[in-house]
Each structure stands twice: as structure tokens, then as C-alpha cells.
Amino acid sequence: MAELFPTATRGTGIAVAYNTSVPIFGGTAPLIATWLVATTGSQVAPSYYLIATSILSLVMLVIIHMRVKGI
């Protein structure tokens, strides 16, 4: 992923990507998990959040791979 950025801004590009995604997904995970359990009454409901974010990550990785390969 680092190769997507020019050499001069590679560290900054990775840092911005990491430091925006961690608070959004990691910071809100306990709140969303608690809300899902309270709303659905199911103890396995937080796993649906993990599945959704995993699918989102996979889709983004495929898109990035296609752009890098020029497909």
C-alpha cells in the first residue's frame, strides 16, 4: 500500500490513512457493538459489524489492487 504514494510523501500518506481509519472503526467499535446487542438482543450481533468492516476492507483492497495493476 505504501507504493501508492510518491516517495516524498509516502510516510505521510500511510500515517494519514492509518490515523483516520483507526479512530473511525476502532474508536466506534465498542459503541456500535453495545448498540447492536441492545437493539437485537443477540450476543453475536457485534460479529456482523466485524463482517461488514471486513467486507469493506476487502472491497477497498481489490479496488486498490486493480488501480495499481491498471485493470
Domain residue ranges in the chain:
2-69
pLDDT digit string, tens, across residues 15-62: 888 899 888 878 888 999 999 999 999 999 999 989 998 999 899 989
Please, what is the average pLDDT of the chain?
87
pLDDT of residue 46: 94
Residue 9, burial from CB neighbour count under 10 angstroms (0-12, 13-18, 19+):
exposed
pLDDT of residue 68: 81
Q: Is pTM, for the whole model, over 0.75?
A: no
pLDDT of residue 67: 85
Q: Which strand (E) or helix (H) includes residue 56?
A: helix 45-69
Is the separation of the CB atoms in 14 and 5 below 8 Å? yes
